[in-house]
Amino acid sequence: MPAKVVVIGSLNMDLVTRAPRLPQGGETLIGHSFTKVCGGKGANQAVAAARLGAQVSMVGCVGRDAYGEELRAALLAEQVDCQAVSTVDDSSGVALIVVDDNSQNAIVIVAGANGALTPAVVGCFDSVLQAADVIICQLEVPDATVGHALKRSRELGKIVILNPAPASRPLPANWYENIDYLIPNESEASTLSGLPVDSRQTAQAAASRLIELGAGKVIITLGAQGSLLADGQRIEHFPAPTVKAVDTTAAGDTFVGGFAAALAGGKGEAEAIRFGQVAAALSVTRAGAQPSIPTLSEVQAFKTP
């Protein structure tokens, strides 16, 4: 039986332009290209976990529109169970993304239907949560829903992962006791801890602070610098494979989905982190969110260049 991962979160249609650089306020730039790609942190993590070996269910909302149909179809094409993806009377979530020639991106999201994922809606799909080994949440759905999902997942005795993305403020204090693995990037770690994070040393201090706040374990992703695992006893650094980046969109989601699939499948956390890092490294060599996420056989075949 494949391990079961449940993702509670967002689905967005990504409207992606490539441009020489990111525009400044008030500036109009001539872009290179435009594409429409299925994304959303929740859906990306669901696709990653499915491509990387887990049986996956998604809990979320799409709008009653063409994007909603495409977002659902994209998950079904990956064998992600969508019985808990509700269609609501709103527009589907969208993300406006600019990627520059250095593969950096800037993103504005409009939640739309993702805002309809209330605690009551999640409560309707409790049997889906009960069947999980690992449950993943992010922050593109209402805070009340995330708080409820973390608490219920803890009550059910599941392995609980929170990817606190995007983070605009510290997390509610009572969330921490329900999190087994908190997985922020550098800027999210800084927002949550209130400490600057711009190096491995400062990331270690932030990780220690997040453990003090109550997270079980903390994994800070550091892009090309790899990641840090802190568990309250020790902090371990995992260097990232070196690759040529084309587009970093969904690299964090690929790491989270890959880590969850590996952990649910019985790998130890160090092995699961290395597995997630290889998957994320492969994803940055390709454009777009869901199209960039590698398969299990691609990760297994990966050799450091």
> Could you tell me the CA-to-CA distances from 16 to 13, 103, 174, 255, 265 in Å, in that order?
9, 12, 36, 21, 34
Q: What residues pair up with 59 in beta bridges, in sequence order?
A: 8, 84
Least Cα distance to 132 among 168, 186, 182, 180 occurs for: 180
133 tagged catalytic? no
- Closer by beta carbon to ligand RIB, 72 or else 152: 72
140 is in an annotated binding site: yes
Strands lying side by side in the sheet with 93-99: 33-39, 12-18, 93-99, 105-110
Q: If binding means CB under 6 A, how many residues of this protein chain bind ligand RIB?
A: 15
Q: Applying CB under 6 A, which of residues 109, 162, 213, 299 lies at the interface with ligand RIB?
A: 109
226 is in an annotated binding site: yes
Contact yes or no for 144/165 (Cβ under 8 A): no
Q: Distance between CA atoms of 137 and 128, rounded to whole angstroms?
A: 14
Q: Applying CB under 6 A, which of residues 140, 186, 188, 247 lies at the interface with ligand RIB?
A: 140
Q: Stretches 22-30, 34-42, 59-67, 173-181: which one binds ligand RIB (CB under 6 A)?
A: 34-42
**Active-site choice (90, 133, 180, 253):** 253
**Packing angle between helix 66-77 and helix 41-51, nearest 10 degrees?**
20
> Could you tell me the CA-to-CA distances from 232 to 183, 216, 229 in Å, in that order?
15, 8, 10
Residues numbered 225 to 264 that lie near ligand RIB (CB under 6 A) are 249-250, 252-253
163 is in an annotated binding site: no
| Smallest gap from residue 233 Cβ to ligand RIB (A) | 31
Please state whether the peptide bond connecting residue 170 to the residue before it is cis, i.e. omega within 30 degrees of 0: no
Q: Distance between CA atoms of 177 and 291, rounded to whole angstroms?
A: 35
185 is in an annotated binding site: yes
- Closer by beta carbon to ligand RIB, 109 or else 160: 109
| Smallest gap from residue 110 Cβ to ligand RIB (A) | 10
- Closer by beta carbon to ligand RIB, 133 or else 227: 227
Name the residue with tokens 């929170």: 162
Name the residue with tokens 């693995």: 181
**Alpha carbon 123 to chain centroid, angstroms:** 22
93 is in an annotated binding site: no
Residue nearest to ligand RIB (CB): 39
| Smallest gap from residue 127 Cβ to ligand RIB (A) | 27
Residues numbered 80 to 99 that lie near ligand RIB (CB under 6 A) are 95
Looking at 62-220, list the stretches that DSSP marks H as alpha helix, in order from N- to C-terminal side: 66-77, 119-124, 126-130, 143-155, 186-193, 200-212
Read off the amino acid at residue 116. A
| 100 interacts with ligand RIB by CB under 6 A | no
290 is in an annotated binding site: no
Q: Distance between CA atoms of 246 and 192, rounded to whole angstroms?
A: 29
268 is in an annotated binding site: no
Report the interface residues with ligand RIB, using CB under 6 A.
12, 14, 39-41, 44, 95, 107, 109, 140, 249-250, 252-253, 289
Summarize the annotated binding site for ATP as residue ranges.
185, 221-226, 252-253
Summarize the annotated binding site for K(+) as residue ranges.
247, 249, 283, 286, 288, 292
Summarize the annotated binding site for substrate as residue ranges.
12-14, 40-44, 140, 253
Summarize the annotated binding site as residue ranges.
12-14, 40-44, 140, 185, 221-226, 247, 249, 252-253, 283, 286, 288, 292
Q: Give the residue numbers annotated as catalytic, written as ranges.
A: 253
